[in-house]
């Protein structure tokens, strides 16, 4: 794939049609409804099982590579090469090749249980595996409030899976002018971000050249995944957590919460947001 050629997901990927009885007052209608898929997705690195995540079975190569980077299994996303994606009766198995010198990382990062769709660091066996500290994110770019508002508007219009099902989160990558160039969706907010990180790599986008918008709260694991990918600016439509703010402050990540058309809250490193005055 050439640089900045955006991988496009299959139009109906991630949902199935099921019959549902819709009740409105005394009336009941039998209708077909689009339902978001949620299946076990197993990651196997160098033939060693690592984790099973409950996820939407779309954009799985993006998911595998982004997950490997954001979980600290590899330091460069090029070091995670997807070998095969096999759809089984029980779920999906994704086999990934990593350098031999990274295999020891699997033990410290290994999950002791399945990761649910709402789960980020669930199942990490060691405290240090759950509470990692990524390297500083770099300078990143300045983002105007106008660009941020454009990105938020465009993200809402670029979620076909959520439009069909009403059940998924999204993570979007925006350029400096606010134009959304990549979106990935999943029933799990962390999965959506991992998929986006993988898609950014495949499309050739530099994480220092744009900014991240997500349709969820800014939890610690969301901030950690963004910082691990070298993203310097993240805007969430909901609230942050105190641990996310602590990580963002340490790594240099600009973290915004409650991002809306009419404003946002800037919690850390406000220098990157241009056009917002602070009154005291």
Catalytic residue at 122? no
Round to whole Å and give the CA distance between 109 and 72: 8
Strand partners, 259: none
- Among candidate residues 41, 68, 119, 236, the one labeled active-site is 119
Buried-exposed string 204-229: b where 16+ CB fall within 10 A, e elsewhere: ebebeebbbbbbbbbbbbbbbbbbbb
Q: Write the DSSP assignment of 32-88 as a string of letters.
A: EEEEE--EEEEEEETTEEEEEEEE-SSSHHHHHHHHHHHTTS-SSGGG-EEEEEEE-
β 180-186/143-144 pair status: unpaired
Q: Residues with catalytic annotation?
A: 119
């Amino acid at each position: 794939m050439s640089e900045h050629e955006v991988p496009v997901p299959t139009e109906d990927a991630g949902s199935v049609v099921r019959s549902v009885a819709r009740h409105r007052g005394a009336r009941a209608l039998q209708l077909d409804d689009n339902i978001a898929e949620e299946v076990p997705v197993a990651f196997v690195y160098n033939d060693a099982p690592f984790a099973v995540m409950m996820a939407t079975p779309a954009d799985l190569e993006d998911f595998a590579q982004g997950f490997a980077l954001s979980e600290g299994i590899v330091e460069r996303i090029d070091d995670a090469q997807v070998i095969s994606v096999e759809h089984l009766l029980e779920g999906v198995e994704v086999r990934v090749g990593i350098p031999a010198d990274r295999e020891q990382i699997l033990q410290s990062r290994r999950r002791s249980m399945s990761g649910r769709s709402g789960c980020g660091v669930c199942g990490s066996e060691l405290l240090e595996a759950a509470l990692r500290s990524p390297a500083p994110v770099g300078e990143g770019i300045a983002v105007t409030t106008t660009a941020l508002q454009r990105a938020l508007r465009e993200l809402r219009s670029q979620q076909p899976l959520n439009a069909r099902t009403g059940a998924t989160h999204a993570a979007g990558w925006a350029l400096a002018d606010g134009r959304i160039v990549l979106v990935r969706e999943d029933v799990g907010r962390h999965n959506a971000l991992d998929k986006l990180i993988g898609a950014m790599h495949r499309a050739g986008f530099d994480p220092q050249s744009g900014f991240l918008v997500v349709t969820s709260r800014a939890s610690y694991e969301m901030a950690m995944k963004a910082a691990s990918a070298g993203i310097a600016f993240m805007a969430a439509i909901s609230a942050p957590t105190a641990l996310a703010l602590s990580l963002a402050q340490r790594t240099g990540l600009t973290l915004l919460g409650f991002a809306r058309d009419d404003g946002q809250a800037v919690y850390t490193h406000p220098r990157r947001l241009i056009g917002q005055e602070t009154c005291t």
